[in-house]
Amino acid sequence: MRIAIASDHAAVELKAELREYLIGLGHEVADLGPDTTDRVDYPDFGYRLAAVVADGTARFGVALCGSGIGISIAVNRHPGCRCALVSEPLSAALAREHNDANCIAMGARLTGVDMAKACLDAFLTTSFGGGRHAGRVAKLTTPAL
């Protein structure tokens, strides 16, 4: 499976760890940057991630910044993305099962490497439940305002 990963400067090290972990699991990983800890703006990388997930270039996206909050907001500005900010495996699994999330966000300053890997495992091994959740997910893309 092709997975895109992006971060800001605060999460470059976590991104590198997760990229290697995903490759070790047999996934193809598109690292969308950045490559250094030089200061960058998380929206730029969140928008880049959203574009490749929304157009189908990548099946899922992993968005990382210091808290995970800013980059998740940036990704969610794209109507083709549903990015869930998670901090433990249950929320990661429920993001897939109930919300059909196609992106996961985590904060490098808040989530350790082992917990981030556990969140990825839960996210990637959980399927969308459909059923009563399908109509709700449809409203996330086309809100009835």
Per-residue pLDDT, 139: 83
Is 98 among the residues known to form the active site? yes
Q: Which pLDDT does position 143 carry in this prediction?
A: 62
Q: Is 78 a catalytic residue?
A: no
pLDDT in tens, 49-73: 999 999 999 999 999 999 999 999 9
Tokens of 79: 């109507």
Cα 30 from Cα 49, distance rounded (Å): 9
Question: Is 35 marked as a binding-site residue?
Answer: no
pTM of the model: 0.95
Q: Tokens at residue 76, please?
A: 């969610």
Low-confidence residues of the chain, pLDDT below 50?
A: none
Residue 137 has a pLDDT of 86
* Distances, alpha carbon 128 to alpha carbons 65, 97, 108, 132, in Å: 26, 4, 26, 11
Query: Binding residue per annotation — 66?
Result: yes
Residue-wise pLDDT for 104-117, tens only, equals 999 999 999 999 99
Contacts of 58 by beta carbon, 8 Å cutoff, 6+ apart: 2, 3, 4, 30, 52
Q: Give the SS3 label for residue 23.
A: helix
Residue with tokens 């895109």: 4
What is residue 63's DSSP assignment?
Answer: E
For the chain, domains (ranges, CATH) are 2-141 (3.40.1400.10)
Q: Is 99 annotated as a binding residue?
A: yes
